[in-house]
């Protein structure tokens, strides 16, 4: 297996993702520079968090036009696996590879804290090893993480099993009070209709090491290896 992590100007979680992938899967991981046109025969592409192009215009709007994204779009449209985390999620919505949009948090503030999320659908690649209904503690760090889509799109996503995670409490209960950024229906992560492109605002790569007192994100990375290899 071979993983590719795209690096944009302003990416700041690329090394975290690389370390998490190497630590949990023990597979080859390569950096893919934003100006490149070569995905280097990777089996799965990750768009990491950060502030690509300084978040000018809006988060992900400029990165969407990077040369590497032309190849990522082709790869995804051909059935290749792509996972966007935080800013990577924003880029994927801007590129039209995922439905909806990420808007300013309802608090109008940047939020950096641990939250709990629960898998809505464990048939998706990153959630395939997770326990339905269980709460997983994963950090967030974003100012534009409020997932938004129109009512018809939200219903279509629900019917098609595209909701990946929802914000919840420590017991896995989804309530209005646990919605940290005002996302529609507490949505923290989604997939495309083809179930090969995934996006989430929380940072699982920051929750894979016992030395950080949190390994709740580890299973998401381990699932990549087992499912893609299968």
pLDDT, one tens digit for every residue, the chain (230 residues):
999 999 999 999 999 999 999 999 999 999 999 999 999 999 999 999 999 988 887 888 899 999 999 999 999 999 999 999 999 999 999 999 999 999 999 999 999 999 999 999 999 999 999 999 999 999 999 999 999 999 999 999 999 999 999 999 999 999 999 999 999 999 999 999 999 999 999 999 999 999 989 999 999 999 998 755 54
**CATH code of 34's domain:** 3.40.50.880
**Structure confidence at residue 230 (pLDDT):** 47
Unique residue bearing structure tokens 């464990």:
122
Backbone phi, then psi, for 99, in 5-degree steps? -75, 165
Domain boundaries, position 40 = 2-229
C-beta of residue 91 within 8 angstroms of C-beta of residue 9: no
Q: Which residues pair with 47 in a beta bridge?
A: 84
108 CB-near residues (< 8 Å, 6+ apart)? none
**Catalytic residue numbers, as ranges:** 86, 203, 205
Q: Are 88 and 48 contacting, i.e. CB atoms less than 8 angstroms apart?
A: yes
- Considering its fold, how many domains does the chain have in total? 1
The span from the CA of 30 to the CA of 18, in Å, is 8
d(CA 2, CA 165): 26
Q: What is the pLDDT of residue 227?
A: 59
Q: Which residues contact 161 (CB under 8 A, 6 or more apart)?
A: 121, 123, 124, 191, 195
44 Cβ neighbours under 8 A, 6+ residues apart: 1, 3, 4, 80, 81, 82, 83, 224, 228
Q: Are 156 and 100 in contact (CB under 8 A)?
A: no
pLDDT attached to residue 58 = 81
pLDDT on residue 226: 73
């Amino acid at each position: 297996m071979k993983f590719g992590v795209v690096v944009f100007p302003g990416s700041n979680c690329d090394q975290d993702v690389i370390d998490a992938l190497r630590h949990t899967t023990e597979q080859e991981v390569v950096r893919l520079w934003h100006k490149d046109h070569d995905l280097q025969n990777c089996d799965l592409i990750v768009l990491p968090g950060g502030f690509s192009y300084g978040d000018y215009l809006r988060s992900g709007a400029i990165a969407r036009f990077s040369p590497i994204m032309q190849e990522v779009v082709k790869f995804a449209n051909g059935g290749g696996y792509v996972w966007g985390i935080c800013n990577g999620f924003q880029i994927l919505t801007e590129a039209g590879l995922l439905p909806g949009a990420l808007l300013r948090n309802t608090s109008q503030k940047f939020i950096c804290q641990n939250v709990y999320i629960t898998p809505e659908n464990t048939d998706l690649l990153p959630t395939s090893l997770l326990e339905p209904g269980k709460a997983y503690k994963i950090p967030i760090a974003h100012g534009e993480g409020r997932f938004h889509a129109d009512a018809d799109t939200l219903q279509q996503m629900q019917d098609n099993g595209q909701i990946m995670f929802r914000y919840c409490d420590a017991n896995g209960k989804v309530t209005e009070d646990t919605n940290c950024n005002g996302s529609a229906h507490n949505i923290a992560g989604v997939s495309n209709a083809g179930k090969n492109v995934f996006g989430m605002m929380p940072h699982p790569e920051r929750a894979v090491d016992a030395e950080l007192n949190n390994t709740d994100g580890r299973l998401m990375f381990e699932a990549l290896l087992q499912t893609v290899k299968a």
